């Protein structure tokens, strides 16, 4: 056939031959599809129960905010029977009504309204005839009689709810507090009985009480927050400082003025304590100091492993540190029992030189030779964390042939597969195996296990929010553990750096777990692990970045604290102090 | 339609279809596997009658399209992670062409890549596993005649492209 013929066609056999190389293997294809179907089925089941739990969570939130009779008509059925079985629309509406941003928005509206009422009371007070001071107590008592019990009952109920449930009921306390301030100020303003000093003292005390309470509640917090909830207490203490200074510095009596200034000092200390997570955040220098020092008892293998996570971060980001002290500890361990965990940690921290590698290997020469024995190809390494140092040493001394590497890579992949499927497999084992794959230049083999590792990471994330004093969002050390662990979380984040972030990981909850706390000074190691994990996670290209909306959704308690403080300051500042009024001046003159 | 029957019927054309969207073949196979699994798990969400092959084909194509979009997104994310590979390593991986027929096969593959999208699509779908024109048409929601027409045009274009390539190489050889 003439190839120049315009009707000439390329032969079909040629086309088939050209594409043959890309042809999928039929049996394997079908097997993978069936396997994927099985995985999807279990994923769907897990997701369904998680989403049901989530829905119940927001319904519980709603139940603590919305009056129960309303729930009984709408989503009450859903609350009782479980969402999805009845009235999902009503449940959704109630959930939205109780959601953080909406409450914050309503509270902001309430704040503006309250602000307006206080301003008008202030104007009325300025133009009104000064009332009889003896009336002051009578009016206050009348107000307490009328609505005090109601306010106290709501606050007590909210506090109880806070201690057994979410921090959202704290919002009710803030609302009640705001309403009480506005009502009292308006009533006293109408009677011309407002005195800035008196008002400031009362409000400052109330703010201090609530700050203390919120700080306790923050410790029991079970929600997903992005900032330390003790910041709300810090803001309230700061508000108490400002209110005390505004109201009391211009007080009539010198003793009152001195007292107010002195009272501000412990309040500022409280601000520093509660707000330490924002005022004194953990820095890179802190991490470096931790890695360089051996002051924190670095005697056990577990402590060395935590040290390796921090040192690994410094090495990965190219931050130099002085290894003198950890090196001395390592040499001690090398001369002693050569604890394999310590040796592997030292490798991660870059403390091992060629001479050390020889010493490590000398202790296990025969055992190390079996690592890459071809007859053991495909068999998983039963104690990978204990054998890691041997593999690193073999690699460092250049004793691995290409065949050895291939056998080792197979065994490491088998180890990852075993850890990912075994009931007792840990993230740490997977991380060590993955790092060893990198060390022996076989990172390409990771592709084979990526999906399994992703599934394992998702499985290990602990998202249970129904337990007090238990921060959800971190990762479990073991599959069956019922709490998050700081070391395991740092390990999981390192794994995500190597294998990518699975779509199913709740990154907001993870950030919430890693957020700094005001108690970090008492748990230095834990704080270092969390901050290193947070920095590592934020450096990942596939980690979603936070938006203002995320903060608005999660930080309603802090938002409400700010509004309450603003309202308090507004209430105090607008009224004249007793010292400034003509009556006070006259009284002063008469005293003199 | 049962899962195994669907796999047998649409495996080749689906991999070819995904590959024609610019996905490397190893990823295209993975996307096709995920698409079959997803289409099977979520079959209740399909409004049509999935026992009808044309409905199944349309449904499968839609699921694959979604997976392809996800793949594109993750590809963009992966691209942000820059991996440097020594050029010498890549050269080492490249296998030399042994025979003239190898050269022609390689040029044919390159020519397929240069085909217009619709033609490339049917070529990959039909010839990857010698799937029937009817099944290709079902997956694309077009008539078998349309597929045949595109295949004819594609084969003609490929013959023309290859003859030009060979003419050029002969010319270069005679100059030498």
In this complex, which of A12, A22, A30 lies closest to B4 when CB atoms are compared?
A: A30
* A528 or A524: which leads in pLDDT: A528
Contact across the interface for A37 and B37, Cβ inside 8 Å: yes
- Give CA–CA dist B49/B55, Å, rounded: 6
Quickly list DSSP for A73-93.
HTTHHHHHH-TTSS-HHHHHH
Shortest alpha-carbon distance between residue A15 and chain B (Å): 6
Q: Which of B108, B119, B124, B170 to mutate to test the interface with A (most CBs of A within 10 A)?
A: B108
Only one residue has tokens 């042994």, namely: B98
CB nearest to B33's CB, from A9, A22, A32 = A32
pLDDT band of A69, cuts 50, 70, 90 = very low
Contact of A472 with A513, CB cutoff 8 Å? yes
Cβ of B29 within 8 Å of Cβ of A17? The answer is: no
Query: CB distance from A26 to chain B under 8 Å?
Result: yes
A427: tokens are 């993230």
Using one digit for the tens of pLDDT, what is the confidence trace for A315-338?
A: 988 888 898 888 888 888 888 888
Q: In this structure, what are the phi and psi dihedrals at residue A475, rounded to the nearest 5 degrees?
A: -115, 150
Q: Residue A439 and residue A471: Cα distance in Å, rounded?
A: 35
For residues A437 and A415, give the distance between their C-alpha atoms in angstroms, rounded to a whole number: 11
Determine whether the interchain pair A15/B127 forms a contact, defined as Cβ–Cβ distance below 8 Å: yes
The pLDDT value given to residue A107: 66
Predicted confidence at residue A17, as pLDDT, reads 85
Which of A17, A22, A541 is closest, CB to CB, to B77? A541
From A498, which residue of chain B is nearest by alpha-carbon distance? Answer: B81
CA distance B156 to A445: 42
Contact B159 A8 (CB under 8 A): yes
Q: Is B63 on the interface with A (CB under 8 A)?
A: no
Q: Smallest Cα–Cα separation from A160: which of A173, A175, A147, A146?
A: A173
Question: Between A215 and A420, where is the model more confident?
Answer: A420
Instruction: Determine the 3-state secondary structure of A461 from DSSP.
Output: strand
Residue A28 sits at the chain B interface (C-beta within 8 Å): no
- Residue pair A430/A459 in contact (Cβ under 8 Å)? The answer is no
Q: What is the pLDDT of residue B107?
A: 84
**Does the CB of B165 have a partner CB in chain A at under 8 Å?**
no
Question: Residue A82: what pLDDT?
Answer: 36
Judged by CB atoms closer than 8 Å, whether chains meet at B160 and A29 is answered as: no
Alpha carbon separation from A289 to A278, A304, A306, A322 (Å, rounded): 20, 15, 14, 9
Of A3, A19, A37, Cβ closest to residue B40: A37
Q: What are the angstrom distances between the C-alpha of A578 and each of A195, A241, A584?
A: 6, 20, 6
B64 near A CB under 8 A = no
Q: How many CB pairs under 8 A join A and B?
A: 98
Name A461's bridge partners: A475
A36·B37 Cβ contact <8 A: yes
Q: Give contacts of A 484-543 with B, CB under 8 A.
A: 500, 541-542
A26: chain B residues, CB-CB within 8 Å: 8, 11
Average pLDDT over chain A, rounded to an integer: 77
Split at pLDDT 50, 70, 90, the class of A59 is: low
The pLDDT score that the predictor gives to residue A496 is: 92
Interface test with B, best of A3, A4, A10, A48 (most B CBs within 10 A): A10
Contacts of B38 in chain A (CB under 8 A): 40
The pLDDT value given to residue A77: 37
What is the pLDDT averaged over residues B113-135? 90
Structure-model confidence comparison of residues A432 and A222, the more confident one: A432
Distance CA A373, CA A408 (A): 9
Segment B140-169 shows an average pLDDT of 84
Any idea what the Cα angle at residue A544 is, between residues A318 and A511, rounded to 5°?
75
CA quadruple A132, A135, A137, A138: dihedral, nearest 10: 180
pLDDT for res A592: 40
Task: For residue B164, give both structure tokens.
Answer: 């030009």
Q: Output the pLDDT for position B137.
A: 92
Q: What's the confidence (pLDDT) of residue A170?
A: 60
Nearest to A512 by CA among A560, A561, A461: A461
Q: How many CB atoms lie within 10 A of CB A467?
A: 12
Closest CA relative to residue A85, chosen from A94, A95, A75: A75
In B, minimum Cα distance to A37 occurs at B37
Please write the tens of the pLDDT for every residue from A239-292: 988 888 887 766 667 777 777 778 788 888 888 988 988 899 889 999 999 888
> In this model, does residue A148 exceed pLDDT 60?
yes
- Assess B97–A contact: CB distance below 8 Å, yes or no: no
Looking at chain A, the whole-number percentage of residues with pLDDT higher than 70 is 69
Q: Per-residue pLDDT averaged across B122-126, rounded? A: 92
User: How confident is the model over A77-126, as pLDDT tens digits?
Assistant: 333 333 333 445 665 565 555 555 566 666 677 667 777 777 676 666 66
Nearest residue, CB atoms, B15 vs list A9, A24, A44 = A24
The pTM of this model reads 0.60
**Are residues B138 and B122 in contact, defined by beta-carbon separation less than 8 angstroms?**
no
pLDDT digits (tens, 9 = 90+) for A329-386: 888 888 888 888 889 999 988 889 888 988 888 877 777 777 777 888 878 888 888 8
């Amino acid at each position: 056939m003439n190839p120049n013929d315009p009707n000439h066609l390329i032969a079909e056999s040629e086309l088939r031959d050209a594409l043959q190389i890309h042809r999928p293997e039929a049996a394997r294809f079908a097997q993978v599809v069936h396997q994927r179907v099985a995985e999807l089925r279990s994923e769907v089941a897990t997701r369904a129960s998680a989403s049901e739990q989530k829905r119940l969570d927001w319904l519980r939130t709603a139940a603590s905010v919305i009056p129960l009779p309303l729930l009984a008509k709408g989503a009450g059925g859903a609350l009782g029977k479980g969402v999805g079985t009845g009235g999902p629309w009503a449940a959704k509406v109630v959930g939205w009504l109780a959601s953080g941003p909406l409450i914050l928005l309503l509270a902001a509206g309430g704040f503006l309204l309250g602000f307006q009422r206080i301003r008008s009371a202030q104007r009325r007070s300025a133009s009104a005839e000064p009332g009889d001071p003896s009336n002051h107590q009578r009016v206050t008592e009348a107000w307490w009689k009328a609505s005090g019990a109601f306010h106290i009952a709501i606050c007590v109920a909210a506090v109880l709810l806070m201690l057994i449930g979410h921090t959202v009921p704290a919002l009710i306390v803030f609302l009640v507090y705001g309403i009480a301030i506005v009502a009292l100020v308006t009533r006293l303003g109408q009677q011309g009985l407002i005195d800035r000093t008196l008002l400031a003292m009362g409000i400052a005390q109330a703010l201090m009480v609530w700050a203390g309470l919120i700080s306790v509640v923050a410790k029991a917090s079970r929600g997903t927050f992005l900032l330390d909830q003790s910041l709300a207490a810090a803001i309230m203490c700061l508000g108490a400082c400002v209110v005390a200074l505004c109201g009391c510095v211009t007080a009539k009596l010198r003793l009152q003025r001195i007292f107010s200034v002195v009272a501000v000092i412990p309040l500022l200390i409280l601000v520093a304590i509660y707000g330490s997570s924002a005022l004194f955040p953990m820095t890179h220098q802190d991490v470096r100091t931790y890695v360089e020092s051996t002051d924190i008892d670095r005697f056990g293998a577990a402590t060395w492993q935590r040290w390796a996570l921090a040192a690994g971060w410094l090495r990965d980001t190219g931050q130099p540190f002085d290894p003198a002290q950890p090196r001395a500890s390592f040499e001690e361990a090398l001369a002693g029992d050569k604890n394999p965990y310590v040796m592997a940690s030292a490798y991660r921290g870059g403390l091992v030189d060629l001479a050390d590698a020889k010493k490590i290997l000398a202790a296990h020469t025969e055992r190390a030779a079996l690592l890459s024995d071809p007859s053991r190809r495909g068999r998983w390494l039963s104690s990978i964390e204990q054998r890691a140092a041997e593999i690193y040493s073999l690699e460092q001394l250049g004793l691995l042939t290409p065949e050895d590497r291939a056998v080792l890579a197979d065994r490491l992949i088998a180890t990852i597969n075993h850890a990912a499927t075994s009931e007792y497999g840990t993230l740490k084992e997977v991380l060590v195996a993955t790092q060893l794959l990198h060390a022996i230049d076989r990172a390409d083999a990771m592709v084979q296990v990526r999906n399994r590792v992703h599934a394992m990471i998702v499985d290990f994330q602990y998202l249970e929010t129904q337990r007090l004093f238990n921060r959800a969002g971190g990762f479990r050390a073991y599959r069956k553990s019922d709490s998050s662990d700081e070391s395991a979380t740092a390990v999981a984040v390192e794994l995500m750096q190597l294998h990518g972030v699975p779509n199913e990981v709740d990154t907001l909850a993870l950030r919430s777990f890693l957020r700094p706390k005001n108690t970090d000074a008492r748990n230095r190691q834990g704080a270092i692990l969390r901050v290193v994990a947070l920095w590592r996670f934020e450096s990942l290209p596939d980690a979603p970045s936070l938006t203002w909306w995320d903060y608005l959704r999660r930080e309603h308690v802090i938002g409400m604290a700010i509004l309450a403080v603003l309202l308090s300051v507004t209430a105090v500042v607008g009224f004249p102090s007793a010292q400034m009024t003509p009556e006070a001046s006259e009284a002063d003159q008469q005293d003199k | 339609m049962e899962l195994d029957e669907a796999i047998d019927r649409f495996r080749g054309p689906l991999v070819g279809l995904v590959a024609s969207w610019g996905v490397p073949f190893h990823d295209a196979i993975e996307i096709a596997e995920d698409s079959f699994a997803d289409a099977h798990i979520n079959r209740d969400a399909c409004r049509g009658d999935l026992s009808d092959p044309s409905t199944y084909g349309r449904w499968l194509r839609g699921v694959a399209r979604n997976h392809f979009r996800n793949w594109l997104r993750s590809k963009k994310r992966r691209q942000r992670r820059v991996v440097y590979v020594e050029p010498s390593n890549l050269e080492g991986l490249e296998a030399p062409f042994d025979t003239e027929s190898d050269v022609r096969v390689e040029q044919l593959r390159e020519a397929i890549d240069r085909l217009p999208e619709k033609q490339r699509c049917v070529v990959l779908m039909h010839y990857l596993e010698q799937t029937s024109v009817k099944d290709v048409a079902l997956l694309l929601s077009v008539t078998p005649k349309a597929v045949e027409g595109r295949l004819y045009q594609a084969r003609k274009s490929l013959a023309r492209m290859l003859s030009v390539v060979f003419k050029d190489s002969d010319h270069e050889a005679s100059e030498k």
